[in-house]
Amino acid sequence: MSKRLALVTGATGYIGGRIVPRLLEAGFAVRVFVRNSEKLRDVPWASDVEVFEGDLADATAVMLACSGVDVVYYLVHSMGQKGDFEETELVCARNVAQASASSGVSRIVYLGGLHPADENLSKHLRSRAEVGEILLESGVPTAALQAGVIIGSGSTSFEMIRHLTDVLPVMTAPKWVGNLIQPIAVRDVLYYLIAAADLPSKVNRTFDIGGPDVLKYSAMMNGYAVEVGMKERAILKLPVLTPYLASQWVNLVTPIPRALAVPIIASLQHDCVVTERDINDFIPEPEGGLTPYRRSVHLALEKLQSGEVETSWKNTSVDGAPSNPLPSDPDWARQTVYVDLKEQDTTAPAEDVWAIIEGIGGDNGWYSLPVAWAARGLMDKMVGGVGLRRGRINSTSLRVGEALDFWRVERVDHGSFLRLRAEMKLPGLAWLELSVTPSESGSGSHYKQRAIFFPKGLGGRLYWFSILPFHGLIFNGMAKSITAAALKRSQSSRVA
């Protein structure tokens, strides 16, 4: 008997990246639909799935992707996007609905958001509800699961709670900290999503899903504080803090950029609780029951401490950030390009230099003038950028598509080459390349570091020359410190 084929959209996202291996474990064949297949190059399950590259806004591509599919998982949402993202989402949903109906898909499973029925919704909540309606009207049996705050290692909601609580002993907060929230553990979300593939064909409706606890947002923060052994935080409600001002505050005191904070905070303007438990009539609760809030926090912290975070908000695409890869050197002809090249020979073996390169950033730092890097990160935060505190998911290894402070990993040739694409706010496009090759003599290695900047207009040119004096300090320091750290690592391993 052939396996059922599941099509997963949003496979590079937080939920999509976690459901794929679980669908494989459940016995499905899996096809993923992504805009950039390079982002999947290093994920453990990449060789076990069929990868289809395309855009959901392209009706023809969606039709091809749905061919032969039994179950479609619709797991995309434009978190952090500006402009007319709402219309784009509706176009994508219509394409999936039409292609699913035409291709004979037997079930659509959609993850939307909990929302009150009779209140004015934010653009993001309204968009998610409208997408659900389009899929429910497709003629294909659809299960539209509606979840509120999802708690798991790397989830945006959990990270916002974590960092606000860690940083602020006393928090001045908007009145929505008194609203009721029904959080759900990411493991329970995934359980329901997979089980929904087996719902009876007559089922075509929304289902609210939530954990066993109904809490105020302030209680969620203090539940986290108690779980990590901190004192409960005093929280002062200020009715004057609008969602926009609150998102600015979150942007400054946490790694969550303003573009992602806005939709989360907008969703907290209402009570966000389950109004029906009809899902229990079709899908039994997970073995052992739904995960309590404190337990979900504990599990998320365990994953963070062990470095086993599967997916993270950090890898969400940044609105306005460049997504095109660095053109090859011959393509630079007739363009203004500024390059800062540094090279360094070292007696350290190439593998030790590479270990330092792949571990750069996050808590490991950038090996030169930490105050200058911190100041640049703060400047980026002040203008709504991602800043330097986004950090990294794993302390020792990198994958294509991952975030690294205010960079994005564009290419990794493990053992020799790393290219980072800048996602900070800049008047142009920037990349940083770090590489190592064994010395021709057979002893030691050669380290190469290249910063590349494509300026945009006069402002870009002025920007480059204004920071040029600092480049000598920062980039020279990086090259020397990275090779020195590699040599120290090599000597320590020899002693051991």
Task: Report the distance separating Cα 472 and Cα 340, nearest Å.
Answer: 9
pLDDT tens figures, 157-186: 898 888 888 877 776 667 777 788 999 999
Sequence-distant (≥ 6) Cβ neighbours of residue 267 within 8 angstroms:
113, 115, 122, 124, 125, 148
Task: Report the distance separating Cα 318 and Cα 28, nearest Å.
Answer: 32
Q: Where are the domains of the chain?
A: 5-315, 329-495
Residue 111 contacts residue 15 (beta carbons within 8 Å): yes
Predicted confidence band of residue 495 (pLDDT cuts 50, 70, 90): low
**In the numeric block, which tokens belong to residue 200?**
């009876």
**In the numeric block, which tokens belong to residue 253?**
């005191």
Q: Tell me the average pLDDT across 2-16.
A: 93
pTM: 0.83
Closest C-alpha among 380, 377, 435, 432 to residue 409: 432
Strand partners, 173: 237
- How far is CA 218 from each of CA 171, 223, 265, 388, rounded to the nearest angstrom? 10, 9, 13, 27
Predicted confidence band of residue 242 (pLDDT cuts 50, 70, 90): low
Residue with more model confidence, 80 or 165 = 165
* Predicted local confidence at residue 52, as pLDDT: 94
Amino acid 206 reads: T
CATH number 3.40.50.720 is the correct assignment for the domain at 5-315: yes
Amino acid 192 reads: Y
Residue 174 contacts residue 213 (beta carbons within 8 Å): no
pLDDT tens figures, 267-322: 777 788 999 999 999 999 999 999 999 999 999 999 888 778 888 877 776 655 66
Task: Report the distance separating Cα 236 and Cα 222, nearest Å.
Answer: 13
Sequence-distant (≥ 6) Cβ neighbours of residue 271 within 8 angstroms:
116, 179, 180, 181
Give the CA-trace dihedral at 391, 79, 150, 157, to 10 degrees.
50
Looking at the chain, the number of H-run helices and the number of E-run strands are: 13, 19
pLDDT tens figures, 92-109: 999 999 999 999 999 999
Amino acid 52 reads: F
* Predicted local confidence at residue 7, as pLDDT: 98
Percentage of the chain exceeding pLDDT 70: 94
Percentage of the chain exceeding pLDDT 90: 52
243: three-class secondary structure by DSSP = helix
pLDDT tens figures, 392-429: 888 888 988 888 999 999 999 999 999 999 988 889 99
Residue with more model confidence, 241 or 132 = 132
Residue 182 contacts residue 214 (beta carbons within 8 Å): yes
Q: Tell me the average pLDDT across 427-438.
A: 93
- How far is CA 231 from each of CA 37, 102, 183, rounded to the nearest angstrom? 45, 57, 22
CATH class, domain 329-495, is: alpha beta
pLDDT of 239 above 90: no
* Predicted local confidence at residue 487, as pLDDT: 93
**CB burial of residue 308 (10 Å; 0-12, 13-18, 19+):** exposed
Q: Quick one: which H or E segment has residue 436?
A: strand 428-438
Q: Where are the beta strands (DSSP E) in 126-233?
A: 142-147, 150-151, 170-173, 180-181, 184-185, 205-208, 215-216
Give 27-63 as a DSSP string. T-EEEEEES-GGGGTTSTTGGGSEEEE--TT-HHHHH
Strand partners, 429: 454
Residue 340 contacts residue 471 (beta carbons within 8 Å): yes
Q: How long, in residues, is the chain?
A: 496
**In the numeric block, which tokens belong to residue 17?**
């990246």
pLDDT tens figures, 325-343: 788 787 777 788 999 999 9
Which runs of consecutive H residues, i.e. helices, occur in 313-440?
350-358, 370-382
Query: How far is the first Cα of the chain from the last one, in angstroms, to the nearest whole number?
Result: 55
pLDDT of 240 above 70: no
Residue 194 contacts residue 15 (beta carbons within 8 Å): no
Task: Report the distance separating Cα 29 and Cα 8, nearest Å.
Answer: 11
Q: Tell me the average pLDDT across 137-142.
A: 97
Predicted confidence band of residue 143 (pLDDT cuts 50, 70, 90): very high
> How do beta strands 150-151 and 5-9 pair?
unpaired
* Predicted local confidence at residue 41, as pLDDT: 83
Task: Report the distance separating Cα 404 and Cα 392, nearest Å.
Answer: 5
Closest C-alpha among 161, 291, 180, 296 to residue 230: 161
* Predicted local confidence at residue 292, as pLDDT: 96
Question: Within 10 Å of residue 318's Cβ, how many Cβ atoms?
Answer: 21
pLDDT of 220 above 70: yes
pLDDT of 78 above 80: no
> How do beta strands 417-422 and 428-438 pair?
antiparallel
* Predicted local confidence at residue 486, as pLDDT: 93
Task: Report the distance separating Cα 472 and Cα 135, nearest Å.
Answer: 56
Q: Please report where in the chains the tokens 């907060």 appear, as a residue.
A: 173
99: three-class secondary structure by DSSP = helix
> In CATH terms, are 5-315 and 329-495 the same topology?
no
Task: Report the distance separating Cα 424 and Cα 375, nearest Å.
Answer: 13
